[in-house]
Structure formats: structure tokens, C-alpha cells
Structure 1
Amino acid sequence: MTTLALSDSWSMLGRNLQRMRHAPGLFVITMTMPVTMLLFFGYVFGSAVVLDGSGNYRAYLVPGLFAATAVNGVMTAMLASAQDHQRGVMDRFRTLPMSRFAIPAGQTASDVVLAAVGMVPLTLCGLAVGWRIEGGVAGCVGAFSLLLLFRLVTAWLGHYLGLVVGTEEAAGQLGAATFMLPLLSNAYVPTDGMPGWLRTAAEWNPVSAVVTAARDLFGNGGPSPDASWPVAHPVAASLAWSAVLLAVFVPLTVRRYGRDAA
């Protein structure tokens, strides 16, 4: 990557952070939605979920909500990308002498910054309802780093989809479907009680590997030895999923951005 590309990406990061200042609704939703889900799932559905062992469901739920927050990068990046595309902002950027990599890179980086800020109230609320970080400083840093890496992955995916769909309306409709990804995983409920075919599908969902890795690194419970490989080896699987998805969607996004300019 050239110095020019890095400089342009840094400029686009600043532009997108400034843009967020003028979109308080997005900031408020980012800060409050995970907390709302924790209180809703933890107290409304928590009494109906039985966990093996000691099992504080709210402590079990918090790492799953961290991963769900990371998955939301698909929706936020897709909406922002489609909005810029539809309003002609992308066309104006293409007239500037800047790296084509800088536009999506700056947007995805700003999305990761937004996600990092949004994890603060969820962390505080999680601690207030009984969740604890028991994996030490190294485990805590590793868990949050892995979650932000996955947010970066989903942001690149979302940016690509935003360029493909091209309109805010289509992006909003497609973005709603991303809520299914955490639901079809172990973010909210264990996979042990699922039918065999559904359990396999849920455990091969990349979200399940990230959730299990976060729980493991936070010290909230280790992987199940009889689970599918991604959940039995969650850290390795999370890194592998992230590497594969970045290797696919980073070049696809840059190529799509360049093709739209033709």
C-alpha cells in the first residue's frame, strides 16, 4: 500500500467521522441499541433460558451482544455507502486525484471507531447486570481486538453491498436481513438444544466462532469439545473467517468502486 493511499484513507476517515457528528441519530442508536437488547433479552427472555452449570444468562448474553454489534457493521456501512452512491458523492470523489482504495478504507475505519465507542455503554451495562471479565488483561484486549476486527470485516462486506444495491431504500431493506445472522448462531442461546442440521448450520456461522472466542477470551466459558470445528477452535476459526472474508471483499469493493467509475 502506497503512502498516498494511506494519506487519502486518513483523510476519508476524518471526513466520515465529521459526517457522524452531523448524524446524531446514528450515534444514539449505536450507543443505546445494544444496551436495550441486553435489558430486553436478559430480563424478558432470560428466565426462560436454562444454561448448564452455574449459568447466569445475562453474563452469557453480553459477549453475544458484542458480536451482534460487530455484525451491525454490514448494515451501517451498506447504508452509508448506498447513500453516498445515490446522492452522487462517490462521483465527486472519483474526480479527485486520490486512491480508489481510500474511499472504502476510510469509511470502514470510521465504522470501526464508531463500533468501539458503542461498546463502552454495553460494557458498563454488562458489568452492572452481573457480567465479569475473568480472562485477565490479555484476554480482555484479545477479545475486544477480535470483535473490532470482525466489525472491520463486516464493514467491508457492507460497503460492497452498498455499492451493489446503489440506493438507500434497497440498502435498508437488505440491511434488515442482517439481524438474522446473530439469531442463527450461539449469540443468544446455546446450540446444544438445536436439531442436528440447525446446530451444524449455526456453528459454521462465522458469528458463532466470534461469540465463542469472545466468551473464551473474556473468561466466560470455553468452547464445547463436541461442537463443530469453528466453535471447538473459536479463536483460530475467527481469525480464519476474518482473513478469508477480507481477502474476498476488499478487492471486490475496490474493483466495484472502480467499475462504477467507468
Structure 2
Amino acid sequence: MQRRPPRRSGGPGKGGARAGAAAFVAVLSACLGLLPATPADADITLASKTPRIVAKVGPYDDRRRSRIHTALNAEYLRLWEMGLRTPVARAKTKTFKGYPYLNVEDRNRDGTADFYSYTPKAAGGHTLEFGAFFDLAGDGTPDWIVFNGGSALGEGGAFKIVYWSHHAIDRNNDGRFDTLVVDCVDLDGNGRIDPGVSAWFYDANFDGKFDAAEHIVKGKVTRIAVKNRRIDAKTAMKTFQEIRIGSPFGTLFDEIARDIRAAR
């Protein structure tokens, strides 16, 4: 089963989401006890009504991207802390090797699914392959996906643990994700994650390849330097350090969105 975070930690369980990060890394590098549903649960669809958080922050707008990211990351952590719910939909997939069962939940019980996890067995099991999803366009298709990252040392104490995640955005709502946001950034190089800092990697012209990147520090945007086509994002994860201009964006998040849509 998924582990729940300490209630005051602000994020998901142990940093470990190294296994989850490793799965993400493998896909990106290549291209870049659950219970039976009750009748009430089965009636919940993926887009039965507009969730409160979507009504608050949507639709997507580049000018508000940092504020939307902050709000949806907080919502993801809130949903994660609620703990496991009875799935409202399921699917069998090939997206994550060893985790063929997708479970979709409505964690906040607002009538719209919002959380997903991939498990090794139909009955559930321990997993680090999970996250949240949002439909900011309101068309029944996930266009903002959060994927569990892990934990790392952060600023503010010798053993301050912070939790991080990946966010993928379909900015133009064409069914293909084109923006990756990572919040495990160490700008000063001291080995600790900086609070309020995220690295944004863009497929700006929607051709399936990375072509721009920026840091957003507490709402302030700065372009990330590029040297020999390498984007110096100063992330704590080696894979993100190696993203270059022209690298394929990858299809992991497209596949997750397709799995969610296929769940019944």
C-alpha cells in the first residue's frame, strides 16, 4: 500500500520515491489493500463536475503558470495525505513494468476522480508509482499530471526533509504533454533543495523536443543558461541535469493520461 506522510511534513512519504523516480528516469531517458468498488463509487466519472481546485485555478494560462503550479502541488499533497480510497475505476496497463494495475480514486469525494496509482497486483500492493491529475480545460482529459518524485534534504536544518514531484502540463491542450516542472532544485550547490524554486522544461513549439527552460523562484522567472545544448537546471536528479536542447520530451505522461481515460 502507499505510505502516508507525517501530517506536518507537507508531502508524501519517504524519499524514497527513488523507485518511482527511477521508473520515470528510465522512460524519460529512453525517449527523454484495495477494495471492490461500491455502486456509489462506480457512478463517479472522470469529469462529472468541475472540482473546486480546477474552478479556482483553471483554465491554464502561461501568465499564471507559477501560481497554478503552487496551487496544484499543494492540492496533490493534500490528496496524498488523505490516504487510500476505494478505486472508482481501474485498468490493466503496460506503462510501468511490474506495476500493471492502474487504480483511479476520488480522494476528496467531490464526484470527480483526482488520484492514480499503479500497483503490482489487482488487489493492490506497495507502490511508488502514483500521483494526481487535473483537467483544467474541462474537456474530460487530464492536462496536468503530478507524478511522485521522492524526498531529499532541504534548507532549514541538519535533517530537514522535503518532498518533491514532477508536474507535466499539456499547455495547448492537444493531447500531448509539452512542459515538465521539477521542484528538486539546488541553486547554490550546497546539496539541499531550495524552497520555492522550480525548473521548467519546455517543448515551446510543440514538436516533441525540449527547446527552452527557466527557473521560477518565488514567482520570479529567469531563463536557464544553455551550454553545448545542455540545460543547466541545477536539479538534484542526474537525469534532469542531462536534458539538452533537442532532447525528446518523451511519452510517459501521455501514456498515464491515456491509462486514466481508459480506466473503467
Report the TM-score, using the length of structure 1 for normalisation.
Answer: 0.28
Bigger fraction of residues in helix: 1
Report the TM-score, using the length of structure 2 for normalisation.
Answer: 0.28
Please identify the structure whose Cα radius of gyration is greater.
1
